[in-house]
Amino acid sequence: MKTMFKSVLIIAFLGIGIAVIGRLFIDSNEQPPYALEKDIPQTLDSRAMDQLLAEDLSITTSMFLDQLSTQLNSWAEQDFSDTQLIEKSQLEIKEHPHINGFIIFDNQNIEQEIGDIINPDFSLLTHTHLKSEFSDPFSKDGKNYMLMGEKLSDNRKILAEVDLSFIQSFVMGMASVADANGSFFVSGDDPTVQWETTNDVPNGFRSQTVPELGWQIVVHSNEHKPEANQKSYIENQVVIKFKDHEKATDWLQEHAELQVVKENLPYYVVSSPNETTEQLLERLQNDFSLAFTEPIYLFNKQGLTKPNDEFFEPYQWNLEQINTSGGWDLSGGNNITIAILDTGVDPNHADLKDKIKTGYNAFDESDDFSDAHGHGTHVAGVAAAMTNNVTGIAGISWNSTILPVKVLNDEGEGSSYDVAKGIYWAVDQGANVINMSLGDYYDSEILYDAIKYAYDRDVVIVVASGNDNVEDPMYPAQYSEVLTVAAVDQNNNRAFFSNYGNHVDISAPGEHIPSLFINNEYTVMSGTSMASPHVAGLAGLVRSLRPDLSNQEVYDVITSSADDLGTKGKDAYYGHGQINIEKALQSISQ
């Protein structure tokens, strides 16, 4: 059993990948820090974190190029004597976010031209990888482009002009990208890292080569420091819960000096403009009418036998490592709803849009669950992306539906109140499984109350352990009602960033995990945020195969069938071991 602490909580998102590298704790200028009695030692190597990010960025770029190559070959195979196919290709070019146009050559004669290419010069294709050829990046009207060519089987060639805006968007100021000549064409906003060439980069910065292009990706993220010695909360506000809800109206009338900021039964957020948060807490914590009173702590981001999805075989090593394909012979996750409590989900992503239920926005209580950050979309894809649809990746519980619950805003920030609201809403909407790739080092009564609400209603709750390489337990990972997930790498070793301790229940792949990204993209991310939805997906498969099992019995199936790693038996680094999807489902098949 996990030890329960009644202290306080900050929640941080647990993603280390493209969009959410490193320690992504909330840092709101509105919220003062709250000092702790002790510091957690800094044991996470920032250089290792930067190297991990550089590798993620490199793999993502390779995936991007693979997509482009597939698209060009698809166009080259079309019969352009059919005017309908020409019109179809013209429409695809207009809709394609990265290709301005293409030209098909036959012995240097133009056979077909679709779209508008700024610089159609084959001589610029000076780099070759397999059957693909590339130019160096060039600039036009403040935007970066490159030419990409494909050698076709009948000696023809297809040449396309590629808009490199995606490269700049996914590095998001965390890295600079140099071409094969060592000249940077993407840099961050910080003037100290706006290098001209790779010769200008000081020692100590981590980089990774994109093999297809010879590009260098140099990471310049902030130093990664565990921030467990601080917490943040919304000033002048507290969240309260009444012992007897029928007395709430009378109590609030008696306390007319308090303003009800938000009301989402059974919780009320009240504020006092003349009192600090600490003064308000001191006054209300001993009020007999209240079940609890606490600050609103801030959260932040911390993430078929053989399907035909394009990235399954070359990139999704993680699914093979946990024996996913064998499990798919027994269950696909039918009739299961997996709630993703996160930054939202991209409602238009091709690998998700047909399986998303109407979601919830905990901030404005609307159904606008759109994701402008990317982390939630990535997590949802790992758990349950569409599978065997040629496009993109394969999701674990591929026939389950996704219930998106936006509890973190577009900067990856939220509060304990918002997450609790999201949990209540997801449970009331019939979620069978909840994934929360979030957590920090402090307990929260409102969070635990919501966790209990979900657990008592037979919901499987899966959470990430954290990315600080420390033993101190995070919340909600510490709660006995949840299944806490640590991360392993491609060699079945503990990921160097993964938190550990007796509260860890299970492990799953968490390094270099390919999945979905906003705007119909795909990226690679690392973190216990990515490990957690592997387990949520397995829970979906288990609940689909055996709907008669309780949530606790689902936990037992997952842990008892795991492949033991590290010290024999349950240990602090791997829990019961790494999930084995095939073994788990075989153990309960009838």
Alpha-carbon distance of 170 to 184, in angstroms, equals 16
Locate 207 and state its tokens: 């980089």
* Conformation bin of residue 545: beta by default, left when phi > 0, alpha when psi is -120 to 50: alpha
Residue that has been written with the tokens 């007999």 in this structure:
288
Whether omega before 476 lies within 30 degrees of 0, making that bond cis, reads yes
73 lies in some domain: no
Return the pLDDT at 580.
Answer: 97
Asked if residue 257 and residue 343 are part of one domain, the reply reads no
Asked if residue 265 and residue 136 are part of one domain, the reply reads no
Alpha-carbon distance of 177 to 210, in angstroms, equals 10
Asked if residue 275 and residue 193 are part of one domain, the reply reads no
Return the pLDDT at 90.
Answer: 80
Return the pLDDT at 106.
Answer: 80
Q: Which residues contact 336 (CB under 8 A, 6 or more apart)?
A: 397, 399, 400, 401, 432, 433, 540, 543, 544
pLDDT at 7 over 50: no
Which among 195, 225, 255 is the end of a domain?
225
Return the CATH number at 540: 3.40.50.200
Asked if residue 201 and residue 95 are part of one domain, the reply reads yes
Instruction: State which H helix or E strand residue 99 sits in.
Output: strand 99-106
Return the pLDDT at 376.
Answer: 95
CA 365 centroid distance within chain? 22
Return the CATH number at 262: 3.30.70.80
Asked if residue 276 and residue 311 are part of one domain, the reply reads no
Asked if residue 263 and residue 369 are part of one domain, the reply reads no
Return the pLDDT at 302.
Answer: 52
Return the pLDDT at 137.
Answer: 92
Return the pLDDT at 34.
Answer: 23
437 lies in some domain: yes
Residue-wise pLDDT for 429-439, tens only, equals: 999 999 999 87
- In the chain, how many domains are there? 3
Alpha-carbon distance of 549 to 446, in angstroms, equals 28
561 lies in some domain: yes
- Greatest mean pLDDT among 14-28, 170-184, 205-219, 540-554 lies in 540-554
C-alpha gyration radius of the chain: 25
Asked if residue 216 and residue 341 are part of one domain, the reply reads no
**Of the candidates 399, 393, 304, which has an alpha carbon nearest to the alpha carbon of residue 355?**
399
23 lies in some domain: no
Asked if residue 434 and residue 349 are part of one domain, the reply reads yes
202 lies in some domain: yes
Asked if residue 275 and residue 198 are part of one domain, the reply reads no
Alpha-carbon distance of 311 to 508, in angstroms, equals 19
- Greatest mean pLDDT among 38-42, 49-53, 259-263 lies in 259-263
Mean pLDDT of 456-464: 97
Alpha-carbon distance of 398 to 392, in angstroms, equals 13
Return the pLDDT at 23.
Answer: 24
Alpha-carbon distance of 269 to 260, in angstroms, equals 6
Alpha-carbon distance of 513 to 232, in angstroms, equals 30
Q: The pTM is what?
A: 0.77
Return the pLDDT at 227.
Answer: 43
Mean pLDDT of 334-348: 96
Ordered alpha helix ranges (H), 160-285? 165-171, 248-254, 277-284
Return the pLDDT at 86.
Answer: 80
Where residue 5 falls among pLDDT bands split at 50, 70, 90? Answer: very low
User: Under a CB-based contact definition with an 8 Å cutoff, are residues 391 and 351 in contact?
Assistant: yes
103-107, 159-163, 257-261, 321-325: segment of lowest average pLDDT: 103-107
7 lies in some domain: no
Alpha-carbon distance of 326 to 137, in angstroms, equals 43
257 lies in some domain: yes
55-59, 312-316, 474-478: segment of lowest average pLDDT: 312-316
Mean pLDDT of 49-70: 86
pLDDT at 279 over 80: yes
DSSP letter for each residue of 154-179 = TS-EEEEEEETHHHHHHHTTSEEEE-
Return the pLDDT at 534.
Answer: 98
- Go through 310-326 and write b for each residue having 16 or more CB atoms within 10 A of its CB, e for each that does not: bbbeebbebbebbbbbe
**Of the candidates 511, 494, 483, 476, which has an alpha carbon nearest to the alpha carbon of residue 584?**
483
Q: Which residues contact 10 (CB under 8 A, 6 or more apart)?
A: 25, 26, 230, 231, 232, 297, 298, 299, 300, 440, 441, 442
pLDDT at 119 over 80: no
Residues marked as catalytic: 342, 375, 529
Where residue 300 falls among pLDDT bands split at 50, 70, 90? Answer: low
Asked if residue 258 and residue 206 are part of one domain, the reply reads no
Which among 296, 326, 347 is the end of a domain?
296
Percent of the chain with pLDDT over 70: 87
Asked if residue 289 and residue 361 are part of one domain, the reply reads no
Return the pLDDT at 187.
Answer: 78
**Of the candidates 441, 419, 413, which has an alpha carbon nearest to the alpha carbon of residue 340?**
419
Q: What mean pLDDT value characterizes the chain?
A: 84
517 lies in some domain: yes
Asked if residue 184 and residue 120 are part of one domain, the reply reads yes
Domain carrying residue 510: 304-586
pLDDT at 473 over 80: yes
Which among 261, 296, 331 is the end of a domain?
296
